[in-house]
Each structure stands twice: as structure tokens, then as C-alpha cells.
Structure 1
Amino acid sequence: MQVADNTVVQFNYTLKSEEGDTLDTNVGNTPLAYLHGHKGMLEGIEAALTGKNEGDSFSITLAPEDAYGERKDEMIQRVPVKHLHGAKNWKAGMMATVHTEQGERQVTVAKVGKFMADIDMNHPLAGLTLIFDLEVVSVREATEEEIAHGHAHGEGGHHH
């Protein structure tokens, strides 16, 4: 079966930097599952998977604007340390959670003082050209419930 809208796709990936360094992979673990055509995946990956078949393996390169966007300097903000959640002692490079008007958000601590911290609200992969090695493990028709919920259920997908 071919990858098309309203199919559930399970795939393995290895994410690499432009320099070839592995940044993340799920190879050796449960394949990632998503509902194709429902904006549950990076657009560039979804476009590359369209029309592929079970067993296909290939690589794609995504520019920042097709992946996690360009880095924006205005996304670095100064906040009171007491607003950082997830640890007691903060150091630059650590991930924290902050409460915003849009809900909880994961941020990177850029610099920390006694009372204030500079946090980077850019996605950690923003500004990077990324290489994805993809392997389509399985493709199946989505159930009516998955289509109604807008995501894949079961192994590698969402569990209710």
C-alpha cells in the first residue's frame, strides 16, 4: 500500500546534522506512527513520504524553513529563575518548562544568574539544515476513529 492521505504510516528515522552527526534516531525501537495528511508531521517529511511504499528507504535534506524554522533573536527572553520548572539548580544548556499565555513551553536555559535567567524559546533544532534517513516500515488504512481524532492509535502512535 502507498502512503497517502488517511493512511497510518510507521517509519524509522535517523536525524543528522549537515556535518553528518547523528542527532536522534528511533532505529532499534518502536517505529514512529502518524496519520498522513493531518499535519501531525513536519511538512517536508510528509511530502517526501507521499507515494512511498512499505520497505522504501531514502534520505531527505530539509532547510531550516522546511523543518523547525530560522532562529530568531527575539525568542531569547529574560525571566525570573523562579519561573523555570524542572530542576532546582540551573545551568546554561539545560531544558526547562515555563508557563506562557499559550500554555506550557519547553525552553533552553541560555544564561542563568542568581535571580534572573535568559531563556531561548527557539526550537532546539531551529536554524539547522537537517538530514533525515527514513525507512517506511508499514502503511495501512486509518480507522474512522483515527481520522476523527486526527492521529494514529496503537504501537508507535497515540494511546488513549
Structure 2
Amino acid sequence: MPEKIEDNKYVELTYQVLDGKTGQVLTGVEFPIGYVHGANEVLSPAVADELASKSAGDIIEVPIDGDSLYGPRDESLVITDYIENVPEEYRELGTTILMENDRGETKRFLVTRKDDTTLTIDGNNPLCGREVIFRLEVIKVRDATQEEREAGGKIDPGPDLTGFALKGRLRELH
């Protein structure tokens, strides 16, 4: 009998986020992601609830209001400026720009529009104001180890650095 998703189970899945109106794929993961069900908030509560009791091979679709995940769209986070005021490395559509305010708080902005004279960046999450569908395929379900439960996901071994003089190498790089 296949194992069912419940708290303290290690789960691997793939997902796609689809536009609820057009069905267009907005984003997704190519390689499975792993997490421990109930140990962290890696998924929205609505998605986690729908995954409960599912097994490897199951595919689910969960409609989500983007505003419920990321808050309503804030037009004050959309900034348009003359392109000559923007550094060259930030002039490509899709570029992410990390900006900091006077209080040291950071926020990610995405270059969303560009023409011959202006460039627009947007600090809203791209899913704000959209109805989306999370399509998830469960790849694996098993008991999580104690270490995975504590970490909230799979523990991958680090690289084997045997014989590598890390401290000396770091000095060489500087």
C-alpha cells in the first residue's frame, strides 16, 4: 500500500503555476523539491491541505488567489524612469534588482517593461492580482528521518573537500 502524505512524511514533488484564465504556465520546477509535511511552511496552507492523504503518482490542481498569498497589488511599487538613469546591467526585461530603503530593508524588483526612452520596475510579486492554479505531482512519500524533520527537508551531504586547502585557497582568491 503506498504511503500517504501526513505530518512528518518526507515528500518530493514537482509543480507548475498556471494562469487561471489562460492556462498558460507561469513558472514551475524541473527537478523535484523535497520537504517534510507539517514541519515548515514551504507551501501555502491551501496547497498543503490538498496534499494531505495523497500518494506518489497523484496529481492535484489547487486554485489560489495570488492576493491571498502575496497581498493586493501596490501601484506605488511600480516605478518608471528614463532609461539613461538606469545602470546598463539592469536594462534587460526579467532582470531582478535588489533595492534597499533608508531603514536597511530590502525588496526585490523585476524589470517588467522597456522601450527606447523608459524602463519600468515592479516590486509586486508577479502573482499579485492573478488567479492561479498550482498543479503538483507527488513523486515520493516516505517517513522523514529525525534530521529531516528538524531541518524541514532533505539533508544533502556537502561537497567532499578532502585534500583541499580551503583557507589557503580563499587567500589566493582575494
TM-score normalised to structure 2 length: 0.68
Query: How far does residue 108 in structure 1 lie from its aligned partner after superposition?
Result: 1.1
Query: How far does residue 77 in structure 1 lie from its aligned partner after superposition?
Result: 4.8
What is the CA–CA distance in structure 1 between the aligned matches of 2:112 and 2:31, rounded to whole Å? 33
Whether 1:22 aligns to 2:29 is no
Whether 1:58 aligns to 2:42 is no
What is the CA–CA distance in structure 1 between the aligned matches of 2:113 and 2:133, rounded to whole Å? 29
Aligned-partner residue type, residue 33 of structure 1: G
Partner of 2:124: 122
Larger radius of gyration between Structure 1 and Structure 2: 2
* C-alpha contact (below 8 Å) 2:99/2:109 kept by paired residues: no
Give secondary structure in 1 for the equivalent of 2:70. coil
2:14 to 12, 15, 20: 12
Change over 3 Å in CA distance of 1:7–1:102 after alignment to 2: farther
Query: How far does residue 55 in structure 1 lie from its aligned partner after superposition?
Result: 1.9
* C-alpha contact (below 8 Å) 1:44/1:67 kept by paired residues: no
Query: How far does residue 111 in structure 1 lie from its aligned partner after superposition?
Result: 6.1
Give secondary structure in 2 for the equivalent of 1:44. helix
Once the two structures are aligned, what percentage of the paired residues are identical? 25
Uncovered stretches (5+) of structure 2, i.e. residues with no partner: 160-174
Uncovered stretches (5+) of structure 1, i.e. residues with no partner: none
Change over 3 Å in CA distance of 1:21–1:118 after alignment to 2: closer
Aligned-partner residue type, residue 7 of structure 1: K
Whether 1:36 aligns to 2:64 is no
Query: How far does residue 117 in structure 1 lie from its aligned partner after superposition?
Result: 6.4
Bigger fraction of residues in helix = 2
Map 1:2-151 to 2 at 5 A. 2-18=4-20, 19-26=22-29, 29-37=30-38, 38-77=40-79, 81=86, 88=89, 90-91=91-92, 93-100=93-100, 101-103=104-106, 105-110=107-112, 119-151=121-153
Partner of 1:153: 155
Please provide the CA RMSD for this pair: 3.1
Query: CA offsets per residue over residues 28-63 of structure 1, 9 Å max, x none?
Result: x42121222210122222121112122212212111
What is the CA–CA distance in structure 2 between the aligned matches of 1:8 and 1:159, rounded to whole Å? 20
Change over 3 Å in CA distance of 1:107–1:159 after alignment to 2: farther
